[in-house]
Structure 1
Amino acid sequence: MTSKTTGSTPPDNLTPQRQAMPRVNQVTAADITASLKAGFSDFLARPFMSGFFGLFYAVFGLLFVWSLVWLGKIWMIIPAIVGFPLVAPFAAAGLYEMSRRLEKAESFGWSEILTVMTNQSKREMGWMAFVTLFIFWVWVYQIRLLLAIILKDASFSDFDGFLNAVFFTPQGWTFLVIGTCVGALLSAVLFAVTVVAMPLLLDRETNFVSAMLTSIRVVTQNPVVMLSWAAIISVTMLLSLVPAFLGLIFTLPILGHTTWHLYRRAVSPAGG
């Protein structure tokens, strides 16, 4: 006697379909040049709206540094300034949306751009923000640990004393070398997992793990070009911090728009 088991096999249309990973392209130095030109063009198309994001980022940076002085956390000023660019990819989400809409010739206003993060809540942008802020927290914690180990007897009661301990003592030089290596490693990790992940999440339906894996594949398949782009971002951002963060008003928007166009060249369109 044979028995039938009903309902053991779901209908084909109810079987979960595995989402295909985006296809990664080879990019060259010419792609970076073309993306920079496109990014500058996007900035000129909406200079005030683009500049707003740079101004907001700069003001936030100044307030952050001022709060550290007010709280007496002098030792955190330099690590915070150096690590501040780490959160730029998250801050540039509105710029990616502007470039996306400009590319498609779609009209948009302040409301569409300023609410981009809340509108993308279902695309796990919040998880990418968590990853970014977590790595920034690890950076600050590591610096605090290194200060305690290497410069334990130094006085950080004022900014001049901190600068003297870091730049004019053998222990300070050791701290700078090790701190630079730690910072470079964390920056490389964050760059690899976010360089196209944020634009990808904004552009199509996918989860943040797939977005990060795609970003890592872009970097590993184009190491020289992407490391060159990382160097351009790092140098530009750090130089922009020198005149009281004001350079960020221009450089952050251009770099943000450029990142969108580089993403479009590095990752094939959905279904492409």
Structure 2
Amino acid sequence: MASKTAGSTPPNNLTPPQRAMPKVNKVTAGDITASLKAGFSDFLTRPFMSGFFGLLYAVFGILFVWSLIWLGKIWMIIPAVVGFPLVAPFAATGLYEMSRRLQKGESFGWSEILTVMANQRKREMGWMAFVTLFIFWVWIYQVRLWLAIILQDAPFSDFDGFLNTVFFTPQGWTFLAIGTCAGAILSAVLFSVTVVAMPLLLDRETNFVSAMLTSIRVVTENPVVMLTWAAIISVTMLLSLVPAFLGLIFTLPILGHTTWHLYQRAVAPAEG
């Protein structure tokens, strides 16, 4: 008698195909220069729209610092300001989409860009936002930990007193040294997992783990070039914070557009 289970095995062609990991290219300092030129060109093409995203980021930073002062969290101001650029890759999502459309010669307006940004919450970008904010939270928490351990007996009741303690006392120098090392490690981790992951998720249908692994491969296979790019981002962003965050109106859009073009050079186009 024939088995009841005969022919119940599904054909192989019903198995979902496994997506291949994106291929990573070698990049050079010339790629950074070319990407910066392309990013600046994108900014000049749509300066008001690009500047809008920079303005939003700057206003958020100003309100964030003001809220810390209002809540009396004086100790959080410096780590918050220093760690603020960590969330820039997520804030630049709209800029990536603008560069993508400009590169393809597509016309677009506010509704197209904002719609794409809103739709990212239904995709893997939300997980990348979680990763970014989690590392930012770890940064703030470890600063509070070292503050409690090293500066527990230091007297400061206002922002000027905090600055004096941090910059003009031996305990403050120790706090700065340890905090700088810890911050450098966290920044390196976040940079490695996001530098091309954000634009990759916007550009292709892939999961956030694959995007992060691809980003890490770009960094490990191009360590000198990507370290140079990380240094450019860090110095530019920190200098932009000096004039009350207002420098971000210009630098965030240019760096965001540039990141898109560097991603295009660092990751090979999808096959098919």
Shorter-chain TM-score category?
over 0.9
Q: Aligned residue for 1:74? A: 74
Give 3-state SS (helix, strand or coil) of 1:20's partner: coil
CA distance in 1, matches of 2:75, 2:33: 38
Given that residues 139 and 186 in structure 1 are in contact (C-alpha distance below 8 angstroms), is that contact kept between their aligned partners in structure 2? yes
Name the counterpart of 1:87.
Answer: 87
The residue type paired with residue 212 of structure 1 is M
Q: Say whether 1:13 aligns with 2:13.
A: yes
Unmatched tracts of structure 1, length 5 or more: none
Counterparts of 1:20 and 1:196 in 2: how far apart (Å)? 17
Question: How far 1:18 sits from its partner (Å)?
Answer: 1.1
Q: Name the residue aligned to 1:115.
A: 115
* Residue in 2 that maps onto 1:204: 204
Tell me the secondary structure at the aligned position of residue 120 of structure 1: helix
Q: For structure 2, which runs of at least 5 residues remain unmatched after alignment?
A: none
How far residue 132 of structure 1 moved from its aligned partner, in angstroms, is 0.2
How many aligned residue pairs are there? 272
Which residue number in structure 1 is paired with residue 173 of structure 2? 173
Match of 2:223 in 1: 223
Q: Residues 67 and 28 of structure 1: is their aligned pair in 2 closer, same or farther, counting only changes over 3 Å? A: same
What residue number does 2:57 align with? 57
Contact conserved, 1:74 with 1:156, CA < 8 A, in 2?
A: no
Q: Output aligned runs, 1:133-212, within 5 Å.
A: 133-212=133-212
The Cα shift of 1:112 comes to 1.4
> For residues 104 and 163 of structure 1, what CA distance do their matches in structure 2 show?
49
Task: Kindly provide the CA deviation profile for residues 85-134 of structure 1, in whole angstroms up to 9, marking residues without a partner as x.
Answer: 00000000000000000000111111111232322334310000000000
Q: 1:8: how far off? A: 4.6
SS in 2 for 1:107: coil
Structure 1: how far apart are the matches of 2:226 and 2:51?
A: 25
d(CA) in 1 for partners of 2:245 and 2:255?
Answer: 15
List per-residue Cα deviations over 1:203-256 (Å, max 9, x = no partner): 010000000000000000000000000000000000000011111000000000
What is the RMSD of the two structures over their aligned residues, measured on CA atoms? Answer: 1.2
CA-to-aligned-CA distance 1:39-59 (integer Å, 9 cap, x gap): 000000000000001111111
* Per-residue Cα deviation, 1:53-72 (whole angstroms, up to 9, x for no partner): 11111111011000000000
For 1:117 and 1:155, locate their aligned partners in 2 and report how far apart those are by CA, in whole Å: 45
Conservation of the 8 A alpha-carbon contact between 1:86 and 1:132: yes
Range 201-210 or range 147-156, more displaced: 147-156
Q: Note the alpha carbon deviations across 1:123-149, whole angstroms, 9 max, x for none.
A: 310000000000000000000000000
Q: Give 1:154 deviation, angstroms.
A: 1.4
Report the residue type matching 2:30 in the other structure: A
Q: TM-score, normalised by structure 2?
A: 0.97
Deviations 1:188-216 (A, max 9, x none): 00000000000000001000000000000
Distance in 2, Cα, partners of 1:220 & 1:74:
38
